[in-house]
Amino acid sequence: MTLTVYGIKNCSSVKKALNILDEHQVTYDFFDFKKQEMTNDLLDKFINEFGMEKVLNKRSTTWRKLSDEDKDAASRDDNAAKELMITQPNLIKRPIVLGYDKTKNIATIGFDNDAIIAAIS
């Protein structure tokens, strides 16, 4: 099984997901939004897999701190939303777990204990 977890190390949802993977002895790579550069290609990969509505976290503290102008632009225009997520990756829903094993693709977004366990089983 090959997995990559995308998120921020000190995020509680990411920590819970990593704990599940560790408990099940699943090996994974970790992509830290704070330490590694978010690219258009990677963001497009997330959006193609889950859709803009799930990837752009409008419930986050970062979203609430945006100006009304930025929120309106991001809500109306996917390119504006993408630009914001590139410059402020905290706007991306986390954790994102992507990977594959011999029989299936693995793709989860946000912390969902049951979905993560089902994906790695």
| pLDDT tens profile 56-100 | 999 999 999 999 999 999 999 999 999 999 999 999 999 999 999
Query: What class, spelled out in words, does domain 1-33+94-121 have in CATH?
Result: alpha beta
- pLDDT for 106: 92
The residue-averaged pLDDT of 41-67 equals: 96
Name the 3-class secondary structure at 6: strand
pLDDT band of residue 121 (cuts 50, 70, 90) is confident
What are the structural domain ranges in the chain? 1-33+94-121, 37-92
Confidence band of 5 (pLDDT split at 50, 70, 90): very high
Check 11, 17, 74, 120 and give the catalytic one. Answer: 11
Please give the Cα distance from 89 to 87 (Å, whole number): 6
Sign of CA dihedral 104, 105, 106, 109: negative
**Has residue 18 got a pLDDT over 90?**
yes
pLDDT beyond 90 at 46: yes
Annotation marks residue 11 as catalytic: yes
Nearest to 109 by CA among 64, 52, 63: 52
| pTM of full prediction above 0.85 | yes
